[in-house]
Structure 1
Amino acid sequence: MTESDKKCQEELISLKKEFEEFVYIVSHDIKTPMRAISNITTWIEEDLGSDADKDILDNFRLLKNRVERLEKMMNALLEFSRVNRTEMELYEVNIPKLVTDCIEMVDNKSEVEFHLSYNLINENSIILGKKLQKVLYNLLDNAIRFHDKEKKNVFVEVSEEKTQYVIKVSDDGPGIPEDVKDKIFSIFYTVNSKDIVDSTGAGLSISNKIIKMVGGTLVYTPGINKGSVFKFNWPK
């Protein structure tokens, strides 16, 4: 290894250490005052009582909502930074059950019809189960959360190949505008305003990092009739 390579490696180690310290400060030291702001706001609301001016109460609710959103974003940043270090256990997973478990976990699915398709040699596989569950959950949650129709259709296709699984999650929602599709894997980016759709904007970036970690690739393509298609391969 040359001196230049050694210097680059030392700088990389130093940058990683700085990033980890930054994430620790964000995820621990800032949470305490944020919770204090939320608690104090609640106490003031209680002191004012139900007869308080409606605009004042609305502003307090807005303040608590923003604090809660900020805390969720910090938790997502912490999760993003720890992708390569947490939930790294290999264990046997039943693929169809993993998919149905993820469906059960998502919210607001009462008006959603799920269409599941499997082409598997063996339903069971020894994989990083928690990581795959996280990716599937995030893609399903996005498909529902950003859908614009009353009746929603979400499709999950899982195919097994010799060296990998190929998984596709698609929907018949509004799709993603062409001019922003390159931004969707950036952490905290959302196509819709966070005031319109309650989301941290971290799900796709976390999923993309997990898939890259295991040696796969996550790709977005627009659906034939609008909608979104997210396809990734998960090496065995």
Structure 2
Amino acid sequence: MVLVEPGQTLNLIFDADDTLWDSNIHFLEAFDAFCDALRDSGLILERAEIHAAVRTAELKRIQTHGYGRKPYMVALQDAVAELAPRGHHRLQIALDRIGTHLIERHCELLPDVGPTLQQLAARHRIMMFTKGQRDEQLRKLHRSGLAPLFERVETPREKDVDAYLRLVRDAELDSSATFMIGNSPRSDINPAVRAGLRAVFIPHAHTWDLEDEELLDAKDRIIELPTFRRLVEVF
């Protein structure tokens, strides 16, 4: 499948976390470490109970702090206040260690991302449109060495239909020649299609469960690829 006419330049918009580099696996590992810290502090809790407390705190903090590693650590602090209201000194030390590791952890590029983006950027406009704390996402992008390839980097609070419409307006994009590329049906694919764009879905084994939903029934406007490298065949 090739979607490019000879000499045609497209607008390729990329998600970052779990599209360009691993991300959610780090949160899953931080949660596992959090469960271990609770157990080591003498708290006997079911994993499901811990997960429920963290999820409630996480959804609350998303409303006030947005997405990202620092907001997640605030959510873990909130969960501690619920699960261990009397406080545990050892638990707080462990939580500080978990937070430092999560926030400072380097995000490894997914297979073939670097060379594929190099090829695509040579013939198309590429942009980044990703949720998360802007300073955090820019730091990850800088560390990746890919920053010079991106014409525009946007970090909206949510990636909903209105956010995509604003991007189209502000970047003066031709919707018919613009593709959103990502791993999340909820944030990357469905709202982009509803906003009039086309989309490329590249599944990731550890996509955050809250980003999962059924893809729209729009087969003519959604392409699913098994690997990032396949983008060079399409574009």
For this structure pair, what is the TM-score category when the shorter chain's length is used for normalisation? under 0.3
State the structure with more CA Rg: 1
TM-score, length-normalised on structure 1?
A: 0.24
Higher strand content, 1 or 2: 1
